């Protein structure tokens, strides 16, 4: 067995990209088949890279890109043993270098790594022990469709962190993750019910000037046009 002298960290830093084209034996996509997802695969060593490439090149849903084409990838897929600082740096470079979405296939994921991958723009995570052909393709197509993929335990950790953020950083200031304060949401609900400024002032026990200022702040902060636009925005996002 030939050893790979370059360290994993160095290999990540230098970025190896798959050079793979579909062979004549690959299954052709039928006339009604969906558009292929363009994928660039990166790995910290040749063995990991080859394993993923061999699984993906058999699938008609995927178009594997060469290094020269990698910048136009819909999905960049990084395959690693563990989430090291060098891997995190590679993810940051990918985030800057491509407009596509980023997925991570990782062997060992330590506690505390969730914040790192979120900061690095990773939208989907798959453990290598679960990375069979179908799951890899599911991850890739989900990313291409604007979705996220995450193991259940990591999703639970993410929700716990969001809850902690709400409790420790926002509740004491009367804020929510919805971008509206409780007072703002109350006033927008009244606007949605057809009340004018004076009526809202009476119902909320604020002055008309305060009502106008609050509604103006919402419209300005969220880049909206008017009160009707603000109500529509809030309702579409479930904020009121």
Q: What is the pLDDT of residues 19-76, one digit of tens each?
A: 333 333 333 444 444 589 999 999 988 999 999 999 999 999 999 999 889 989 999 9
- Tally the domains of the chain: 2
- Enter the pTM of the model: 0.57
The 3-state DSSP class for residue 86 equals helix
Are 124 and 184 found together in one domain?
A: no
Among residues 161, 196, 228, which one ends one of the domains? 161
Q: Among 161, 193, 225, which residue terminates a domain?
A: 161
Q: Summarize the confidence of residues 209-229 as an average pLDDT.
A: 89
45 and 128 within one domain: yes
Range of the domain at 231: 178-236
Residue 17 near residue 70 (C-beta atoms within 8 A)? yes
Q: Which of 135, 161, 187 is the last residue of a domain?
A: 161
């Amino acid at each position: 067995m030939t050893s790979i002298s370059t360290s994993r960290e160095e290999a990540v830093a230098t970025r190896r990209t798959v050079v793979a084209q579909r062979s004549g034996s690959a299954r052709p996509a039928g006339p009604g088949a969906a558009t292929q997802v363009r994928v660039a695969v990166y790995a910290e060593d040749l063995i990991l890279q080859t394993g993923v490439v061999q699984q993906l090149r058999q699938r008609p849903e995927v178009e594997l890109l060469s290094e020269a084409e990698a910048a136009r990838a819909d999905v960049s897929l990084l395959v690693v043993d563990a989430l090291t600082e060098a891997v995190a740096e590679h993810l940051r470079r990918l985030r800057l270098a491509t407009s596509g979405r980023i997925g991570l296939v990782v062997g060992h994921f330590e506690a505390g790594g969730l914040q790192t991958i979120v900061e690095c723009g990773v939208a989907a995570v798959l453990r290598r022990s679960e990375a069979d052909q179908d799951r890899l393709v599911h991850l890739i197509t989900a990313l291409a469709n604007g979705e996220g993929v995450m193991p259940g335990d990591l999703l639970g950790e993410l929700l716990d962190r969001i809850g902690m953020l709400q409790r420790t950083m926002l509740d004491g200031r009367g804020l929510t993750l919805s971008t509206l304060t409780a007072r703002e949401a109350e006033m927008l609900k009244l606007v949605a019910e057809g009340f004018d400024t004076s009526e809202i002032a009476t119902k909320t026990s604020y002055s008309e000037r305060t009502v106008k200022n609050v509604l103006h702040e919402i419209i300005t902060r969220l880049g909206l046009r008017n009160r009707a636009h603000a109500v529509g925005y809030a309702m579409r996002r479930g904020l009121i």
